[in-house]
Structure 1
Amino acid sequence: MSILSVVAVALLAAWLLAYAGAPLLAWTAGAGLLLLALKQAGALGAAAFAISAALFLALAALLNIRPLRRAVLTGPIFGMFKKVLPEMSSTEREALEAGDTWWEAEMFRGRPAWNKLLEFRYTALTAEEQSFLDHECEELCKLCDDWKIEFEDKDLPPEVWAYIREKKFFSMLIKKEYGGLGFSANAQSAVVTKLATKSITMAVTVMVPNSLGPGELLMHYGTDEQKKQWLPGLVSGKEIPCFGLTGPEVGSDATAMPDLGTVCYGQHEGKKVLGIRLDFSKRYITLAPIATVVGLAFKLRDPDGLLGDKTRTDYGITCALVPARHEGIEIGRRHYPGAAFHNGTIHGRGVFIPVDWIIGGPAMAGKGWRMLVECLSAGRGISLPALGTAAGQSAYRMTGVYGRFRRQFKVAVGKFEGVQEATGRIAGHAYTLEALRVLTASAVDHCAPSVVTAIAKYHMTELMRKIIADGMDVMAGKAIQQGPRNFMATAYKAAPVAITVEGANILTRNLMIFGQGAIRCHEYVFPEMEAARDDDLAKFDQLLFGHIGFSINRAVRAFTLGLTGGRLAASPVAGEMAPYFRQMERFSASLAFCSDLTMGVLGGKLKFMERLSARLGDVLSQLYIASAVAKFYLEGSKSEAELAHARWALDHAMHEIARAFEGFLDNFPVAWARGVMRTVVFPLGNRIKPVSDRLNAQVADLILEPSDVRERLSWLVFRNGGVHDPVGRMEHAWEVALRCEPAYLKYFRHANRGELAGDTVADRLKDAVTRNLMTRQEADQAAEYDRVRFDVILTDDFSKDYIAGNHAAERAEVIELAAARARLA
């Protein structure tokens, strides 16, 4: 064999070993065989071979004999690693350790175990949960008039409050053993989604006690006495809970709260007891103005060691449960966010509470931050994503109706290419939202996935904002003129609420998704940090060399898959989804390699380079989103309409991944590393294209037509409010369109050609019947269609007195009749 052949075979073998992720012993054996092959080919003489063999044996011993390796190689690296390891506060550590890793970890590791996704089962709704959606939720929606709630009363009506209490809407997450409904996360998500399609205020009111609130904290951490005291009232609705976390000086960075509790003795119910003296000021607290029980988060200090540990003064964040009428508690004035749900302030100075009021008792002092982070999954993974899904489902259904009925330049506006840019996005994003909702909520039923819920919260509320903006553009005056007919305005005003709460979206994207994901999801990083903190050189040695092999494997895989457009990657399915699974695996390997090189080059500096970490977080997020969409399609009908929507969502996700990588690489501060990563990620350049005009037009056309996907993507929209309900009148119009549109289009063609006499629709239809251009039945259908067509495009107007606040000046019927008088012909 020639020397050139030996080198070629060696390179191929090295590539195969790296691509397969072969262990160190395999590399050692391969290097030994290469030496023998070079000697056999005549490339090495006897002396050269002897020297090379001696060097090889020394290096092989150094790398494979672990005690020697630790002494010579790993030990110095271990020392440097401990020096550069960024300091981590106790709260940061608790946040990292809280919750579980789930499917996102597979996407981060470069070689996803697709069977884990495909074999995962969505949480099926029980018969009880489905019945609750079909009956209790329907009845609650029928009790709500969103216009009166938002504009007139600024509150839910008394009968709605009573029904919420009676039917236990506040206790969906409280287990049945405590008297609650004990619903799954998927069921809670569906309930909040449905309620939000009718009233944002109603949905937020219901979701908050079922999100980050005393009920969940009590079930997980409360003492038996606390559960007995509070859970029955929370279940019945006698107790209305709120949770005081944020304040004037503290928002997303809850660890910076100035609210302080000091352990001391004081008087409670006429007795001297061990307790806590509290000073706090809380703002932006949902349900605070009407709360009967307040969850409080504060920093706890024990300067005198009264809790039993004389060596510990600062305990950190602690949570307690306090009656709202407790002496010193001041429920302050009401905020007014973008919707009318109750939100306000809570203050206290020198408030004394018994130490037993700490949730979980004195043993849980200082463990509040971990408690809160672990319970955030409900708010981040269920409630806020449900609001996003509600916007997607409503916009999909309503812009379809409006785009079909509204005509400009004698053409349905839904057929204009410019409008289709927006309606195509609405359709694609709505598909993405429902796919994310059902997968993430089902995940919460199985574990507490902290990174997944952060991804869902950020991206689903951002998609909500985009969908609402697109819907507002399409419906124009219909959307901006507020009134009983408007089904968009409240969502538009309230969108910033979902963007802001449970951690502001800016923080979530720039710090949390990758910052927490890179450490928790990576196979080696967090264990390496733990080994360094435990001063465990042996463990660190094992992890370090595993990490090196991991990085080499992911680099070679990413580069190879990039060269082949992902074609060498394995897909767990055949057919239309296979190319997308291959691209996901390619970009998963790219993410793993870029993350490793970035953390290695930048170290602790990455913590402060938020733009870079945000873009890597975008890659991780879009990989999760794409996998959710692919699974949603595979679990669906696989119809042509379904495929078009799935392809739109996946093409968009792939383009967003490539765009995030481009932004990351363009701005990476170290030139050589930037070049290496660009070569690995895009060896042939970025060839990922955005959603095509043709595909966008296809889903934009589908939004105007009945289909299985239309029902799947809007199944939770409340549509049974009747013809005076803003959504109900659009639903009625849709039904009329399916029955009468052919007759109307026949009339429309005759009228446009000038073949019909008369100044009004009624006159022209009469002429069409007289001249046998249309039958009487066709004329009646065309007239019915025209009536609902005009009703669809109407907006409301009001008297000056009504606008000024005299809501008794006009009844709802008067407002509706005033709008109807706008018709001329």
Structure 2
Amino acid sequence: MFTPGMLPDEYEDLRKSVAKFADDEVAPVSAEADAKHEFLYAQVAKMGEMGLFGLPFDEEYGGMGGDYFALCLAIEEIARVNQSLAITLEAGVSLGAMPIYRFGTEEQKREWLPQVIDGKGLAAFGLTEPEAGSDAGGTKTRATLADGQWTINGSKCFITNSGTDITKLVTATAVTGTRTGKDGTEKPEISTIMIPTGTPGFTAEPAYDKVGWNSSDTHPLTFDGVQVPEANLLGERGRGYANFLRILDEGRIAVAALSVGAAQGCVDESVRYSKERRTFGHPIKDYQGISFKIARMEARVVAARAAYYLAASRMIAGLPFKKEAAIAKMVAGDAAMDNARDATQIFGGYGFMNEYLVARHYRDSKILEVGEGTTEVQLMLIARELGI
């Protein structure tokens, strides 16, 4: 099992190299990019050169031959200084490329994976709709098959990496028919279909004006008579939603890693500031109210990191990990939000200024209690795994 502070050399070397990249090349440009809502193309390209988008994929597809835990370590280090860039990596791999890797045909993997794991291209996954997400039965997007072509009509919302200049592909869930359920009732047959972004009828609508993650690319999508070949079906017909649940289980570990990075960033900034800021002739670290607050922040980080390390260890070992992933995602998301709140309080008025990292973490971290399954969904999953 992976143990915080006792990583094998290859993982520790990766962590250190990504941490250096984050501190030297990401942190200096993050405040301006956030203020201007700019996507960090140069940093994404550098991450591609470092092999980060290819970490968990086989070398035969252009990957690095590593594993999912290596990806999580990279995401954590980037999230310390910029959550927007961290979610770009997380979504590009776990939501964009991973479904192709897990469920694609050999031909699909050889065609698409090299294009979306080199930092020069991105893939996205379109699941969420105004009435559908966790509730698959609410899916309104439809795909009909005729003469070897899928015709897709519908819309998606909150889709990460879907409208950048380098987005190559969006895989979307769609109702492709009906099936009789175990209870004898008719249920929608949901499949996943790969849609290249240049396909006529595919539109990435104007980007959202978000509370946070301002340097992350997020759009609603519209499919108006989009036509793609029958061969663009990803995985078995009718297994689209079930397959994506597997992807979400894995993704929760990566989002937990992102959350831990954000929580750690708040600790680092608070420790630094508490030594520099003086009141009544003393650095504020000397006041128990401040030192205890930072100590509690550190405790949250340590607990959350241990939770996602455990989930990743079980996943890589081939053991059941659904419960552990849900726990890690919930605990780490709470840690990120709680630490951001406390860090902002420690910084006082400066914590309310967007030029300071803790202010950005305060705005950014709320979505970590919502995205890839809300806290309530995680509680539901944990209870279900306990048999209650």
Q: Same fold (TM over 0.5)?
A: yes
CA deviation after TM superposition for structure 1 residue 457, in Å: 0.9
Q: Residues 277-317 of structure 1: CA distance to partner in whole angstroms, max 9, x if unpaired?
A: 211201100011112101101111179xxxxxxxx986621
Match of 2:232 among 353, 357, 378: 357
Identify the structure with the greater helix proportion.
Answer: 1
Helix, strand or coil at the partner of 1:318 = strand
Contact 1:389 1:434 in 2 (8 A): yes
Q: State the match for 1:210 in structure 2.
A: 93
Q: State the match for 1:147 in structure 2.
A: 31
Contact 1:262 1:302 in 2 (8 A): no
Q: State the match for 1:666 in structure 2.
A: none
Helix, strand or coil at the partner of 1:334 = coil
Q: Residues 322-369 of structure 1: CA distance to partner in whole angstroms, max 9, x if unpaired?
A: 111112111211113212211111111222222221113xxx000012
Unaligned runs of 5+ in 1: 1-119, 266-272, 304-311, 520-594, 596-825
Decide whether aligned partners of structure 1 residues 139 and 327 sit closer, same or farther in structure 2, where only a CA change above 3 A counts: same
CA deviation after TM superposition for structure 1 residue 402, in Å: 2.3
Q: State the match for 2:81 in structure 1.
A: 198
**CA distance in 2: counterparts of 1:222 and 1:276, whole angstroms:** 17
Query: How many pairs were matched up?
Result: 376
Decide whether aligned partners of structure 1 residues 471 and 302 sit closer, same or farther in structure 2, where only a CA change above 3 A counts: closer
Q: Residues 653-712 of structure 1: CA distance to partner in whole angstroms, max 9, x if unpaired?
A: xxxxxxxxxxxxxxxxxxxxxxxxxxxxxxxxxxxxxxxxxxxxxxxxxxxxxxxxxxxx
Decide whether aligned partners of structure 1 residues 469 and 370 sit closer, same or farther in structure 2, where only a CA change above 3 A counts: same
Contact 1:381 1:440 in 2 (8 A): yes
Decide whether aligned partners of structure 1 residues 372 and 197 sit closer, same or farther in structure 2, where only a CA change above 3 A counts: same
Equivalences for 1:310-709 in 2 at 5 Å? 316-337=189-210, 338-339=212-213, 340-360=215-235, 364-382=236-254, 384-447=255-318, 449-483=321-355, 486-509=356-379, 511-514=380-383, 516-519=384-387
Q: Could you tell me which amino acid in structure 1 is paired with residue 169 of structure 2?
A: V
Contact 1:174 1:180 in 2 (8 A): yes
Helix, strand or coil at the partner of 1:143 = helix
Q: Residues 228-276 of structure 1: CA distance to partner in whole angstroms, max 9, x if unpaired?
A: 211121233343101111122224324421112223x2xxxxxxx3233
Equivalences for 1:235-384 in 2 at 5 Å? 235-263=117-145, 265=146, 273-290=147-164, 291-301=167-177, 316-337=189-210, 338-339=212-213, 340-360=215-235, 364-382=236-254, 384=255
**CA distance in 2: counterparts of 1:421 and 1:164, whole angstroms:** 37
Contact 1:140 1:164 in 2 (8 A): no
Contact 1:392 1:433 in 2 (8 A): no
CA deviation after TM superposition for structure 1 residue 198, in Å: 1.9
Q: What is the RMSD of the two structures over their aligned residues, measured on CA atoms?
A: 2.5
CA deviation after TM superposition for structure 1 residue 176, in Å: 2.1
Contact 1:166 1:236 in 2 (8 A): yes
CA deviation after TM superposition for structure 1 residue 465, in Å: 0.7
**CA distance in 1: counterparts of 2:143 and 2:50, whole angstroms:** 37
Q: Residues 507-539 of structure 1: CA distance to partner in whole angstroms, max 9, x if unpaired?
A: 322x2220x2133xxxxxxxxxxxxxxxxxxxx
Contact 2:81 2:262 in 1 (8 A): no
Q: Could you tell me which amino acid in structure 2 is paired with residue 357 of structure 1?
A: N
Decide whether aligned partners of structure 1 residues 427 and 313 sit closer, same or farther in structure 2, where only a CA change above 3 A counts: closer
Decide whether aligned partners of structure 1 residues 374 and 153 sit closer, same or farther in structure 2, where only a CA change above 3 A counts: closer
Q: Residues 453-484 of structure 1: CA distance to partner in whole angstroms, max 9, x if unpaired?
A: 1111112101211111111111212321232x
Q: Residues 410-448 of structure 1: CA distance to partner in whole angstroms, max 9, x if unpaired?
A: 343233333344223212212212222322222222235
Q: TM-score, with normalisation over the residues of structure 2?
A: 0.89
**CA distance in 2: counterparts of 1:302 and 1:238, whole angstroms:** 38
Q: Could you tell me which amino acid in structure 1 is paired with residue 125 of structure 2?
A: F
Q: State the match for 1:658 in structure 2.
A: none
Q: TM-score, with normalisation over the residues of structure 1?
A: 0.43
CA deviation after TM superposition for structure 1 residue 128, in Å: 4.8
Decide whether aligned partners of structure 1 residues 458 and 302 sit closer, same or farther in structure 2, where only a CA change above 3 A counts: closer
Decide whether aligned partners of structure 1 residues 457 and 159 sit closer, same or farther in structure 2, where only a CA change above 3 A counts: same
**CA distance in 2: counterparts of 1:386 and 1:134, whole angstroms:** 15
Equivalences for 1:728-807 in 2 at 5 Å? none
Equivalences for 1:4-43 in 2 at 5 Å? none
Task: Report the identity percentage.
Answer: 22
User: Higher relative CO (CA 8 A, sep ≥ 6), structure 1 or 2?
Assistant: 2
Q: Could you tell me which amino acid in structure 1 is paired with residue 238 of structure 2?
A: G
Q: State the match for 2:106 in structure 1.
A: 224
Helix, strand or coil at the partner of 1:246 = coil
Decide whether aligned partners of structure 1 residues 427 and 128 sit closer, same or farther in structure 2, where only a CA change above 3 A counts: closer
Contact 1:301 1:313 in 2 (8 A): no
